[in-house]
Amino acid sequence: MTLPLLAARRCWHAAINPLHATIYFSPDLAKELAALGVTDPVAVNLASRAAAMGAVGPGTVTATFYNYRHDLLARHLPAVWDTVTPEQVLAARLRAADATLRRLLGPETVESPELAEAADLAMRATEGCTRHARTLYAAHADLPVPEAPHLRLWHATTLLREHRGDGHLAALLLAALDPVEALVSHTATGRGMTAKWIKTIRGWEQSDLDAATGRLRERGILDADGELTEEGKAVRERLEVETDRLDAAPYEHLGEQGLARLAELGSGFVSRAIGAGAFPRDLFGRA
């Protein structure tokens, strides 16, 4: 890479992924899908993220989401598509993104030239994305680009989020971390989801987390207190480095100045969104 070390990773974590992820904790999304007959929070989450792939079943989603429990997915898919079509979900999701960003950022920010600039930068970065072996990214890349700047920005962050995510799955396989081990080791870094949310959103039980913790201890990745060992820290860093390598193209295409500006603008929007209550307070951490 010709970019400064970790610049793309920091931008993704600080600006790109959080802007996209506001939708998954938004009451606006629940409201939109409830109006279409989908009221279960898990079904709302699964349908909204999977809809770009069409009326898929649990096997496809288990493969592409990686760290959701298959039994949980099978309870809601493909059944949810009997209530609502993927096209209806995608339209509802975009309406929810509109309402969410307007609520979290405020009308002045949504209509500002800085937000339009960020949208242009993020869309420019997506020009460097590739479709092969990137199922979720490729499905979203087939969707039309919204005209409104704040929705163009959200769409671009969705593409960049799924592009990195698809590459991350390949890196997880190379690291030999199964779905639960990936979650537990990420939580141990202090930057992953808490056990409460892993169980609520991903469907795993405490026994699953305990078993994964035991396997990670046997491999020397976690110590007796559930903290990352030096080897565990190295495993997680190698995982991120490999993900960086697989995800370098969009940010190389954007260039150093463009990336720095996107990080500056996007981080400001994310800070404002977090201040407005975009995410649960207990979402991340070691607890």
* Structure confidence at residue 1 as a pLDDT band (50, 70, 90): low
Q: What distance in Å separates the CA atoms of residue 23 and residue 155, rounded to the nearest whole number?
A: 11
Encode pLDDT of 116-138 as tens digits: 999 999 999 999 999 999 999 99
Per-residue pLDDT, 287: 61
Looking at residue 264, its pLDDT comes to: 98
Instruction: Report the mean per-residue pLDDT for the chain.
Output: 96
pTM above 0.85, yes or no: yes
Residue 83 DSSP code: T
196-244: pLDDT as tens digits: 999 999 999 999 999 999 999 999 999 999 999 999 999 999 999 999 9
Q: Average pLDDT of 105-118? A: 98
Residues 6 or more apart whose CB falls under 8 angstroms from that of 128 comprise: 249, 250, 251, 252, 253, 254
- How many Å apart are CA 239 and CA 141, to the nearest integer? 25
Two structure tokens written together for 37: 């007959």
Place of tokens 């999304």: 29
Q: pLDDT at residue 5 above 90?
A: no
Instruction: Specify the residue for token string 């970790």.
Output: 6
The CA distance from 145 to 70, in Å, is 32
More confident residue, 282 or 105: 105
The amino acid occupying position 107 is: P
